[in-house]
Structure 1
Amino acid sequence: MFSFSSMPLLQTLIIGNLRGVVLQKEALYSKSLQTLSIGRIEEIKDKEFRNIFLNCPNLKVLEIKNTDFSKTDVRKVLLPLKHLISLAIVNCGINQMTPLNDFTNLTYIDYSFNRIKEIQGNVFQNLSRFNKFVLQSNILNNINQTFLPHVLWEKKEFFLDVSSNPFDCGCQLEWFRVWVENNKDRAIGYPNSYICNSPSELKEKSLSNFDPASECHKINPYIILTFTSLGFLSILIFTTVLLRKFRWDIKYYIYICRNRKPMGYKRFTDDEEFLYDAFIAYNTNDRKWIMSELVRMLERNHKYKLCLHERDIIPGRVYVEEILESIDTSRKLILVLSNNFMEDQWCKYETALASHTLADGDGHKLFLVLLEDIRSEHINRSLKVLLKSISHVELTENKTGQRIFWETIKQFMDNN
């Protein structure tokens, strides 16, 4: 007790290999002591050692080596030392860092040769003067940004020694790998003493051999497949939209290319064999369009002779026979299809006649004009066959589409 109280000028004390010696509560009573180094202590009585520094208020440098602290609350032991600048607890069996926020004057900490596996940054939250941290030969396998406060990672005067730890050189270590590469002058012992313990392909190789750029940023094949599929889908949608928007312009261009005639082309009509250029099969509800548009365009503008049942079939005779005779004496047969047409019994009869004409090999005489979209309930087997087998054209409000519409009909009428 009070072993050094009679030495008022004592500033540095080195105690080592205290075999068979027990440090009691007041053993280190000294108001002047500033630097203390303690070597191996074979026996620690926790209750006594907890207060061992209670009477060393001016201690600034403390070093403890080769002493079992595995069951000791280090923070409580150090709590009286408010003026500590340098702390080294080496090879003392410590498995975790206790918070040191109360020791705001600390500039140097050395916890080498212990069993520390991880550290949280809040341990050093208030250490504004902290500039060197040594954790050599512990069991650290990963270091991330939470290991130290952000301010320390950025501080140019801060140095870190985590050499000789069993690093797991995988993608979880990517951040630290980038940091040490960019701060080689602050990472003590790098790269020679920073050795990988895993994975197997990097075992016993330097951390510098781990390349996160190639190892951690490989593109997943499923991602490639997904983006490729999305790309094709986008192209398909874009193409579909363009085709739909400019479909009449495209059709018109194709039409011009395919149907360009040499100069001096004239329509040939065998007037001795046919009475009409075309028989028009239509529903009376569509009379207005027939008279105002079709008749105007083909008869008045292009001088074709059309057969219309309301105008050209003489009443009083058997209607079926009149229809058959009119179709036989017409060079062409044009069906003007609409939902009204498909609901009319006579129109269905005319559709059946068109199917027979197709079956007889005279499909070149047939042509379909669709005034509107035909509802699905009206699309029967005969109509499906006709739509698949013979030429047809759809009425549209698009100006380019209308030009194609009439030129397609005229092209059909010109062909013999």
Structure 2
Amino acid sequence: MAIKSVQVVLLLWTTALLSWRTFCLAELIDNQGYPTFEMSVDIYSKLEFLKFSDTGMNIVPCNIMSSLPSLETLDLSNNLLSDLGFWWPGCSYTSVFPKLRHLSLSKNRFVDLPFIAQQTHQMKYLESLDLSFNSIVLDKPCFWPIHITSLSLSNNNLGNKVFSFLSQYLQRIVLSKTGITALTQEDLLQFPMLTHLFLSFNSIKVIPTNLSSTLVSLYIDHNYITSVSRESLAGLPSLRTLKAGDNPFVCSCDSYWFITTLNKSLLPDWPLDYTCSTPPSVADLPMSEYRTSRMSCEAWLQAAVALPVTMLIVLALCSAFYACDGVWYTKMLWVWIRVKRRGQKQANLLNNTTFRYHSFISYSHQDSAWVESKLVPSLEGAGLSLCIHERDFVPGQWIVDNIINCVEASYKTLFVLSNHFVQSEWCNYELFFAQHRALDAQQDSLVFILLEPIPTNSLPKKFLKLRRLLMQQTYLEWPMDERKQQVFWVNLRSMLQVADHRILKDMALDSS
């Protein structure tokens, strides 16, 4: 109760007052606005709690400091005390508050933290010090006594560097509203015994991982934290209280586990102080009411579902590819691509070379029905000139000379391979001369058509070179499916049409 314009005279002489343990004095203002009181402190030797709050005090008298040997708690908050007003130079500090454990200097005019730290060495039993709501400045290193375990510097503009000015023996640190913008693991490594940390009303955005293994209580409400990650709390194994409300939380998968899995007994302010800030669709929605699917947030669950689905799709595509003869079409496409690429390379080599035929056809007479009914009409119908031994060999000339002349006069030599082919003596001669021509002049002059499957072990020894050629060169297989036959003819024509058509046409006209 405020007592204004009154001079209080405290003259306590009775022996009954010697048993007092607590004494409070607040708001003593005279008619001129100055606090005025007179008291004798000689009889307060057993006083344990003393509070002078809101009295306008700007200096602590020496007789008070030296006459309270039993005092354990001193509250001088909301006064006009300064550094030298409390630690008065005119006093002797040989026995200052010998049993004082709790000192509150909140809401005064203290400035010099290094000076305060040095003076507290004289208070041998001081455990907690409250310097909140002052004008503390950090300009020099601080040397704290080991017996101070609790320190409050809240509502002072200190910034991120404040941690380097604190004692490593602190167990309780209050830094609410001190202008801290970032909290790092390195900041707390210097406090191995820290159990309670209060960082409310700052500008911290992230709780780092592996923060502190000893921290029991963390107050980080009213900051700029958007989510509390699982990894962050995993780095706080001893945590029992987490106050993180009134932050701009993002309600997304980052907060999914926090909403659904975290033990809410850790949160004394849940659910009232937890609301969604973004995205706009859920702004101001209580986090306890936010709903999202587990599938969209659990990566391992997405992988567990996506992997079998992907495998089924791949299996279905492979099955469809095989059922539609995709292997065969792919092989034919590769042949077509190789022909196109080689056509450019061979163009310069063939500029000064003339041929009479696009291709010389080498086949067994037992396969003549297929050659005459399928092969010749299809190629000559496309404008290609073919050399066939039954039609184009010169009569009366030796057969070997005819073979050599036809091979050299043809741009390509086309072999129709079958079981009958490998049994033919003349086919062997034609293959021999064509192979030597390929080695000497034009390396890609050999074209193979596999009319029917030929088992490797059925090839005679004289056709060992053919076996090597089939392993090294691409060959075309005659398909039974009519759809595939169209692709077959396209690839075969493209292999034979890369020659100089103008020269071939002139040669054909001269020949005719």
Q: Under a length normalisation based on structure 1, what TM-score does the superposition of the two structures give?
A: 0.48
Q: Under a length normalisation based on structure 2, what TM-score does the superposition of the two structures give?
A: 0.41
Q: Which protein has greater RCO, CA pairs closer than 8 Å, 6+ apart?
A: 1
